[in-house]
């Protein structure tokens, strides 16, 4: 019979069942219980947990290192009861399961409190790695290994290190952890400490860690700052690699610290002297300079006139004659050009330059070389509905209006006489430098045509001239102005107002006659008329003497006028 001092096996079982809530032996299954080592033999430890039979657990499940299991008869250990009795009548126990269950309990508590856990990366699986969390196996996604992609994970294997649990599902046995979250949190803490030690305007040495198209990241001793490409130098930098390389130690100034985002902006050019100081006095408006083309855009070209100072030549200021042309067809990158300073805005750090102003105005040069009345020659560049454009010296064009192409024919017919590419001669009629226009005339070069200088030595319509009879014909008279002037014709009907005056035979070769220029024929010869001169003189006399007050007749007035003209 059992006593309190010497309990039997049944007493122990009853007491254990009472503690487990009266579940009986079945209450052991799936639980972690304490047991006692009763024997160690053949690589197994015999464990008594108070059931009908003992259970066996391989010693390797207790091994802390190879050959060291740390057990002896009488040692008390925690084990997991998988089954109360197997086919051989033994209890199915597991030390590994007990360790995992204990680990899960601990991990759930730490996960709930948001604590970090310690583990070891011990294997590689699809999409990541396996981590031992003191008995529980967790999954570490590849994206959560480090802040940046890691090519070689070998140095991280089997090394105790902290992890952050992202997700746990005990029923499915899933644990997802992150090493990256721990690093980011640690880095943020270190970053905050380092930022507290920095101040805007401070000069510090750093190491170039990475280079991008827009700048470089510089390590300031545990915290990175961005050195933007525009803050590397006052001169134009197309790519950061032109100035620095990865691994370079650079001296930078802290330009700005954003306390909210903890971003640090750095600068190198701030440590140099500012070339824009005194630029207004150094480059007065109208000054001619020499610079180098650094960049070409659709709206113009940038020209560096000294390191760190660039000016823009707008497309409208690039050429006097080439309009609506891409700047790349006028200048090229790295080309040395002469420019003129047009405008300076030192606050906005802008200089407006002119390329054409440094080359001289071709219309001014043309006016100097070819004054009004001078003769020029050029190629017909284009024919429009109102005239011809002629290419001239200095890469400028002059226009011949259709009314100035030929005498005696319509403007449309005159335009049809010429074609593109034809070489023609013309006289300069006018040069408007401000409007960049050159007016030319072609008919003014014809014999007998009115001259451009307006001296009156050549012919114009309604002009009265003295002609000499060269030939008497039935249809009229062939005459010539002066001794070597233009030749023309007086029709029979134009020889006088009266019918008896309209006889050619009353004139002789060599006789001089006053006649009026009434027009020009298709051959560009002038046509004269004595009759038109007489009518014009009569009108002039009537206008001069009048007839209402004096009572004089029209014949008296005309006779008086003719006497004054000594005709």
Q: What is the pLDDT of residue 314?
A: 93
352 neighbors 311 (Cβ within 8 angstroms): yes
CB 222 within 8 A of CB 186: no
Report how many domains make up the chain.
Answer: 6
Residue 376 resides in a domain: yes
State how far the Cα of 289 lies from the Cα of 562, in Å rounded to an integer.
73
What confidence score (pLDDT) does residue 148 get? 83
Q: Helix, strand, or coil here: 526?
A: strand
pLDDT value for 14: 58
Q: Are the C-beta atoms of residues 522 and 489 closer than 8 Å to each other?
A: no
Look up residue 358 and give its DSSP letter. Answer: G
Q: How far apart are CA 131 and CA 116, in angstroms?
A: 14
* Residue 556 counted as domain residue: no
Task: Say yes or no: 164 and 202 in one domain.
Answer: no
CATH of the domain at 335: 2.40.50.140
Residue where the block lists tokens 């307006």: 454
**How many angstroms separate the CA atoms of 267 and 204, rounded?**
10
Question: pLDDT value at position 474?
Answer: 85
Cα 224 to Cα 210, 220, 246, 446: the distances in Å are 10, 6, 14, 83
In a domain, 139, yes or no: yes
Please report whether residue 207 resides in a domain: yes
SS (H, E, C) 95-152: HHHHHHHHHHHHHHHHHHHCCEEEEEEEEEECCEEEEEECCEEEEEEHHHCCCCCCCC
Does some domain include residue 46? yes
H or E segment and range at residue 353: strand 350-354
- In the predicted model, residues of the chain with pLDDT beneath 50 are 1-2, 19-24, 450-457, 547-551, 565-567
- State the pTM of this model: 0.43
pLDDT digits (tens, 9 = 90+) for 370-379: 888 889 999 9
Furthest C-alpha separation in the chain: 185
Tell whether 411 is covered by a domain: yes
pLDDT at residue 21, as a whole number:
40
Residues 436 and 477 in one domain: no
Distances (CA, A) of 6 to 3, 10, 39, 47: 5, 12, 22, 21
């Amino acid at each position: 019979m059992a006593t309190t001092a010497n309990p039997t096996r049944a007493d122990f079982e009853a007491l254990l069942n009472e503690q487990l809530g009266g579940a009986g032996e079945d209450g052991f299954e799936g639980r972690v219980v304490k047991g006692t080592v009763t024997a160690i033999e053949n690589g197994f430890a015999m464990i008594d947990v108070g059931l009908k039979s003992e259970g066996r657990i391989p010693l390797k499940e207790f091994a802390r290192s190879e050959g060291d299991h740390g057990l002896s008869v009488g040692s008390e250990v925690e084990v997991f009861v998988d089954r109360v009795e197997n086919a051989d009548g033994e209890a199915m126990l597991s030390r590994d399961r007990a360790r995992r269950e204990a680990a899960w309990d601990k991990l759930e508590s730490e996960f709930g409190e948001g604590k970090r856990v310690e583990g070891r990366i011990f294997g590689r699986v699809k999409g990541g790695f396996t981590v031992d969390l003191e008995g529980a196996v967790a999954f570490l996604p590849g994206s959560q290994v480090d802040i940046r992609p890691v090519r070689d994970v070998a140095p991280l294997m089997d090394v105790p290190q902290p992890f952050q649990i992202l997700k746990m599902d005990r029923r499915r046995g899933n644990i997802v952890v992150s090493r990256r979250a721990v690093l980011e949190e640690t880095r943020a803490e270190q970053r905050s400490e380092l930022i507290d030690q920095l101040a805007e305007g401070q000069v510090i040495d750093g190491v170039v860690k990475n280079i991008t198209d827009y700048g470089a990241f510089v390590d300031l001793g545990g915290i990175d700052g961005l050195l933007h490409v525009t803050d590397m130098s006052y001169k134009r930098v197309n790519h950061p690699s032109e100035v620095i390389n990865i691994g370079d130690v650079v001296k930078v100034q802290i330009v700005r610290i954003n306390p909210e985002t903890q971003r640090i902006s750095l600068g190198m050019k701030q440590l140099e002297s500012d070339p824009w100081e005194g630029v207004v006095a150094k480059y007065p408006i109208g000054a001619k300079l020499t610079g180098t083309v650094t960049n070409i855009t659709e709206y113009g070209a940038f020209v560096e006139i000294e390191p760190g100072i660039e000016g823009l030549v707008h497309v409208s200021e690039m050429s006097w004659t080439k309009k609506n042309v891409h700047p790349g067809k006028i200048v090229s990158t790295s080309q040395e050009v002469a420019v003129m300073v047009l405008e300076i805005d030192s606050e906005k750090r802008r200089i407006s330059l002119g390329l054409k102003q440094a080359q001289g105005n071709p219309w001014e040069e043309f006016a100097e070389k070819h004054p009004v009345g001078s003769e020029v020659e050029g190629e017909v560049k284009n024919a429009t509905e109102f005239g011809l454009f002629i290419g001239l010296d200095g890469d400028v064009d002059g226009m011949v209006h259709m009314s100035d192409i030929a005498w005696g024919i319509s403007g449309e017919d005159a335009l049809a006489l010429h074609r593109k590419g034809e070489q023609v001669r013309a006289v300069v009629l006018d040069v408007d430098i401000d409007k960049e226009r050159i007016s030319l005339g072609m008919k003014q070069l014809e014999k007998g045509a009115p001259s451009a200088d307006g001296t009156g030595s050549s012919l114009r319509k309604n002009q009265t001239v003295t002609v000499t009879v060269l030939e008497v014909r039935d249809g009229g008279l062939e005459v010539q102005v002066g001794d070597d002037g233009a030749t023309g014709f007086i029709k029979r009907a134009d020889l006088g107002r009266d019918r008896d005056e309209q006889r050619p035979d009353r004139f002789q070769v060599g006789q001089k006659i006053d006649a009026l220029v009434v027009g020009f024929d298709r051959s560009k010869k002038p046509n004269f008329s004595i009759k038109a001169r007489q009518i014009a003189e009569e009108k002039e006399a009537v206008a001069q003497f009048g007839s209402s007050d004096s009572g004089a007749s029209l014949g008296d007035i005309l006779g008086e006028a003719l006497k004054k003209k000594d005709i």
